[in-house]
Chain A
Amino acid sequence: MDDGTTLWDEFKKGVITENALLKLMVGLCSALAVSNRVENGVFMGVAATFVLVCSNVLISLIRKHIPDQIRIPIYIVIIASFVTIVDLVMKAYVPAVYERLGVWIPLIVVNCMILARAEGYASKNKVAYAAVDGLGIGVGYTLVLLVMGFVRELLGTGKILLFDRTIVSLGSFNPPLIFVMFPGAFLVFGLMIALLNRYETRKKQ
């Protein structure tokens, strides 16, 4: 971009002002589903970030050679390839998490958050900007999943498990299960949106 935006602005935009989940509200389906545990949320976030950055960079690199009529199929092929790479690597090195994330990893292919960045940003911008854009959106996505996972796991099961080790425990607290179930996802997600909006309106005043 030549309008003076710095890379740092681009990064911040992805994390806060254009946060994929809290602001643009894209890619919600998988986010609500996998945020029941911190571990699931983080791995899903890292996987999506990897795909976002790689596909953004590659698409930006070849953007001048992609014929307009077939750009969408090309984006999909590129995104699907990166997702399959992530899928295989996770299967090989973190099988327990992979097993739990299940279908959501291959479904990153159809996550509109990623195609939206490819079509709306990477295909029109320079490589460095596209990379930072992907990274920013990915980090924003991961952070939201991390916070949601933390709240839901802690309240819903009474403790946080990371690689089968208890990190935080609420002791003898009887956890309301609803938080790890689907309604919990909506509750926590809704509250997060409300909090972010409140923070922003306060800042404006």
Chain B
Amino acid sequence: MKRVVHLGVTLMLVGLVASVCLGLTYSITRDKIAEQKKLEEAKACVEAMPGINKPEELKEDKELEKKVREHIPDVEKVFTCDRGYIIILKVKGYGGPIRMAVGIGKDGEAKGISIISHNETPGLGANVEKEEFLGQFIGKAISDPLEVGEDIQAITGATITSKAATKEVKEALEAFEEIEQAQ
């Protein structure tokens, strides 16, 4: 019995010390992590909307986010600015989630796309970041088919990535429709 208590107490102590250390690390890095995430997003948003130069020109609209997410769960965030909307989405690609910001003008056309993060295969799916691929989406609207093989040319050797990215843009345009209807 004494042995069991001794073992239990030892393990508990180890766990306790470990949790305290982790708690400390977390509290030190927490703000920095949040800041990095914001910075990354802000950079992508600015890239996704031509004519916008500073992140300060954008405003996150939490209520719109909630409303849109009811129908399109892949939507993460919605930013508004005087030129339209920027929608951040996350869709599963080949090697992990692909997060992107899609800028949609007031006329309902995609104005720009910027990949925030992805984990696609270097040399294949990672080409999703390239202008050659993303440029195809500019000017697309909800009335376009947005299908790989039809109006969108896939990245060589990366069909899954191409399809995921295309789906993402399509969902952003659908989200725009939702927003328009809601207002």
Contact = CB atoms under 8 A, between A and B. Distances in A.
Interface in A65-86: 65-67, 69-70, 73-74, 77-78, 80-81, 84-85
Contacts of B33: 88, 91-92, 95
Contact of A74 (B11, B25, B36, B122): B11
Given A74-B14, A77-B14, A102 B119 contact: yes
Interface stretch (A12-20, A123-131, A174-182): A174-182
B15 A77 contact: yes
Interface string B103-131: 00000000000000101011110000000
Interface residues of A, number: 32
A117 interface: no
B122 A84 contact: no
Interface of B: 6-7, 10-11, 14-15, 18, 21-22, 25-26, 29, 32-33, 36-37, 40, 95-96, 117, 119, 121-124, 157
A156 B18 contact: no
Contacts of A73: 11
Contacts of A92: 29, 32-33, 36
Question: Most chain-A Cβ atoms within 10 A of its Cβ — which of B6, B21, B33, B37?
Answer: B33
B61 to A, nearest CB: 25
A181 B95 CA distance: 12
B122 A180 contact: yes
Contacts of B26: 88
A200 interface: no
Contact of B121 (A77, A88, A89, A181): A181
A93 B22 contact: no
A95 B40 contact: yes
Contacts of B37: 95
Contact of B32 (A80, A81, A93, A175): A93
